[in-house]
Amino acid sequence: MSGNFKKALEALVTERIAEGEDPSDLFEELNREANQVFDQYNLEYELGLTKKES
């Protein structure tokens, strides 16, 4: 299941960035959503910029 979730999330993120959304804004939105879902775990995230290999 985690592989499917990862692929679905990556596809969503890639699509929204391709549509012109700022990656930092998208990260902040996903961070807020994850913390609403998993609030009791006190999640912390770090935005790491990496080059995606083709």
Structure tokens at 15: 């699509």
**Which of 44, 41, 7, 47 has its CA nearest to residue 26?**
47
The residue type found at 15 is E
What is the length of the chain?
54
Classify residue 20 as left (phi > 0), alpha (psi -120 to 50) or beta: left
pLDDT, tens digit (0-9, with 9 covering 90-100), for 2-53? 678 889 989 999 999 999 999 999 988 988 888 888 777 766 666 666 667 7
